Copies of this chain bind each other. A is one copy, B any other.
Amino acid sequence: MTDNTTLLAAWQRRVSLPLTLASLLFLVAWALPILLPTLDARLQQVCVWVTWLTWALFAVDYLTQVVLAPNRRAFIRSHLLDLIVIALPVLRPLQILRVVTVLYRLDRSASATMRGNITLYGTVTLIIVLVCASLAVLHLESQHADAAIHTFEDALWWALTTVSTVGYGDLYPVTLGGRAVASVLFLLGVALIGIVTGTLASWITERVHPSGSTPPASQADVRALTEEVRELRAQLAQLTARPGTEGPPPHTADR
């Protein structure tokens, strides 16, 4: 069991860097034909092959991890998102979020800078999702006659107006796929406002009540003290009992 855990950890350490590079390669191969529709047909074909190749790499990695995992059922349950990204090729752009995970492993700071971490990972995730959503919407909408989004600049501008929930309505998706991508951005927008608000609220609360320097007494502190007093009473009871036997029966500390 521990042997397998070690094997799994060793595998994850080994493939971490290659897979991150693969995900960046995927991003390039996926984005290039979208950004340059007039690209040479042979190059476009290469890009398609590269996206499938990197997808195969991730599938192999996932299967190897399942095989090496000591408890396969638990592994699959805790890595459900990975399975979905592998199983539904349409979600492949999400593989780029792997970069956030790597960033997290490189710099795992203490909880003292928790807010800093949330800000850093939140910002990086936001930029990745904005770029990927812009590319996806540009790809899906460019095939439609009534579409208003024709350039990457337009798509990124649309993604920004959407994620901030401003929604001018100068640009909006009209295809089912584009609307599906937009719905994910809506959710992200609401969550983004929630994260920004939560982080600021936590910061404001701390500044308003700066009682962090002396932590409040814990239950454990008071219980240790109560034990101390109980022993003291037992000692006193013994003293009372000694001179004669007519003293009151010592209160047994059976509470």
Given contacts A164-B190, A231-B233, A251-B231, contact A172 B172 (CB under 8 A): no
Q: For A255, what are the chain B residues with a Cβ–Cβ distance below 8 Å?
A: 224, 228
Which residue of A176, A187, A200, A235 has the most chain B CB atoms within 10 A of its CB atom?
A: A200
Which of A44-52, A62-70, A236-244 lies at the interface? A236-244
Q: For A190, what are the chain B residues with a Cβ–Cβ distance below 8 Å?
A: 164, 192-193, 196
- Interchain CB contact under 8 A, A196 and B196: no
Q: For A198, what are the chain B residues with a Cβ–Cβ distance below 8 Å?
A: 197, 200-205
The minimal Cβ–Cβ distance linking A193 to chain B, given in whole angstroms, is 6
- Interchain CB contact under 8 A, B189 and A164: yes
- Interchain CB contact under 8 A, B238 and A239: no
Mark A199-241 against chain B: 1 for CB-CB distance below 8 A, else 0.
1111111111111101111111111111011111101111110
Task: Choose from B194, B199, B212, B232 the contact partner of A199 (Cβ within 8 Å).
Answer: B194
Q: Is A125 an interface residue (CB 8 A)?
A: no
Determine the distance from Cα of A209 to Cα of B210 in the docked complex, in whole angstroms.
Answer: 13
Determine the distance from Cα of A247 to Cα of B194 in the docked complex, in whole angstroms.
Answer: 65
Within A88-142, the residues touching B (CB, 8 Å) are 111, 114-115, 118
Within A18-71, the residues touching B (CB, 8 Å) are none
Closest 8 CB pairs of A and B: A198-B201, A166-B167, A164-B186, A168-B169, A169-B169, A194-B197, A214-B218, A217-B222
